[in-house]
Every structure is written in structure tokens, then in C-alpha cells.
Amino acid sequence: MKVTVVGAGAVGATCADNIARKQICDELVIVDIKEGVAEGKAMDLMQTAQIEGFDTRIIGSTNDYSKTAGSTVAVITSGIPRKPGMTREELIGINAGIVKSVTENILKHSPECIIIIISNPMDTMTYLALKSSGLPKNRIIGMGGILDSARFRYFLSQAIPCSPNDLQANVIGGHGDTTMIPLTRLATYCGIPVSEFLDEEKAKKVAASTMVGGATLTALLGTSAWYAPGAAGASLVEAIVRDEKKMVPCCVYLDGEYGQKDICIGVPVIIGKNGWEKIIDFKLNDQEKEMFNKSADAVRKMNETLSTLS
């Protein structure tokens, strides 16, 4: 079993670290365009094997995709990260060309590969990867909903307070500061609605904090976050490789589901060895449907930018 991570920056390296320590695959390949970086991080990670007790073989490669041949899953983290004040949408002109090229190179050597997109703007990059590759829709997955849901649970756990592990709380819609939809109505703490523990004002504050969770970290760190995104990417790899049939929100292609077509956007799906295997209908109420439709409109508008790129 082989997994590839493209991009040896903070997110890619963290994703690779999580994959190795969990022993999700036998061989892990890290690819980066910058000379020596992937090789150096692969060697550094391999030197933790005895300390951490894993046997995953990690290989680094500077832009040589032949080493990725036979990968079951590939995670694309390539592209420039956000800087303070920069929206995910502003990254599109730069990152679109990178994601398209990486997707082509991966599939050249691993035509049966399932591809996970982390690169921003994630919804549009997922759509681009699907359309440019011609792959079946179940084999292209955007990671964003898992990360946004983890942030939602963090803010809920701080407000209640409780362990985030005792919460079920999901975020759907676009992976953007104004497009994501924290589903507070459906969130539970050990099976009890969180509305039993939070008043309306606190619940609204939690949702608002979740929506700007990435921007908050970017302002603090001076760049995009990496621990949670990397861990989220690794968890998605694990669900595929181990055929977990896990239900998580991911960015996938809709063809009528949730009233939307020809768009990649976050909805709850079942993840297993075939990629995303089923879309789950959360039975949104009228207000949530309206929010979802507005989110889809915003993502679709961003997708239109792709037609202007050379």
C-alpha cells in the first residue's frame, strides 16, 4: 500500500507525519518542487521511526513523480498558503495551475489513485481537479469539511465546556470564511442537543468563530495553519485505506443532491476504499437550505474564474 503527499510544506509534512505514525500505509512518498526539501523531510521523519515505533518507509522526491507509481491515495497540498488579510479566493490564480499539473502527474503514474485536495481555494481546486482529470466523481475529494467541523467542535468545547471528543457537530457548504455553514441545530453533546448547554447568543458566537477559524489562525501565525489541516488530511487517507465507512463532511461533486448540480461543495459523505461512496441527506430546514444555496452560489461564482485563466 502506497500513499503520496504532494507538497512538503507545513501542511504536507504534518499530513505525512500523521500518516507515518499511524502506519496507514507501507510506503509514503513526499513530493515537492523545491530541490532537496522532500528528501530532507522524508529523512527527518524516517529518523523518528524508532522513537515513534512505526515501520512506514518514507521516500522524498524533487518533482520526480515516477516514485509515486502505484499510489492508492494522493494528497495534494501544493500551492502558496494564505497570508494575513488574504482570502482563499485570492489564491485561485496561482494555485489552479499548480493543482492541475500535479493531478496530471499523479494520474500518469497512478491511474487508479484516489485524490484528496487540501490546496486552497479548496472547493474550486476540487472542481478543477475533477473536471481536468475526467476521473469518476467518487475519486476526487476535498478535505475542508473535516477541518471546519473539527474547528466547530473546538469552539463548542470551549463554550460548553466539554471534551471535543464528546461532540458530534458538522460544518457543510463551502470551505470559506463566508460560505461555510456550522449546523448548530444538529450538533450534540453525548447525544444531547448543544442547545441544552448554550444559549442562542453563545451558539451564534461559536458559529461565527468557526467561520473565521482559518483567518484567525492566519492572523496569529502569519500564514495558514498546518497541524489541524495536516491531521484532517491524514484522517481522510486513513478512512479510505482502511475502508472505515466513516461519515464526515467533505467537498464532493453534486449532481442533484441538496438541490445543486455541477459543483463541488461540502456535504456529509461515507468514506471507504472507493473514495466517497454515498452522500447523506441531513434533511436541512428552510433556513439551512437557504444558507446552503447562497454558499453554492458563492462557490460557483469562484469557479467561473477558472474560465478566465490561461
Q: Which residues carry out catalysis?
A: 175
Q: Do both 20 and 32 map to the same domain?
A: yes
Q: Tell me, what's the pLDDT at 93?
A: 79
Given a cut of 60, whether residue 170 has pLDDT beyond it is yes
> Which residues fall within 8 angstroms of residue 226, CB to CB, at 6 or more apart?
9, 10, 11, 13, 14
Given a cut of 60, whether residue 310 has pLDDT beyond it is no
Q: Do both 48 and 162 map to the same domain?
A: no
Q: Pick from 144, 175, 205: which residue ends a domain?
A: 144
pTM of the model: 0.95
Given a cut of 70, whether residue 273 has pLDDT beyond it is yes
Q: Do both 203 and 304 map to the same domain?
A: yes
Given a cut of 60, whether residue 137 has pLDDT beyond it is yes
First to last CA, the chain: 37
84 confidence band (pLDDT: 50, 70, 90): confident
Q: Tell me, what's the pLDDT at 89?
A: 65
Q: Could you list the residue range(s) of the whole structural domain that residue 79 is in?
A: 2-144
List the CATH number of the domain containing 13.
Answer: 3.40.50.720
List the CATH number of the domain containing 257.
Answer: 3.90.110.10
Neighbour-count burial for 259-292, b at 16+ CB within 10 Å, e otherwise: ebeebbbbbbbbbbeebbeebeebebeeebeebb
Q: Tell me, what's the pLDDT at 127?
A: 97
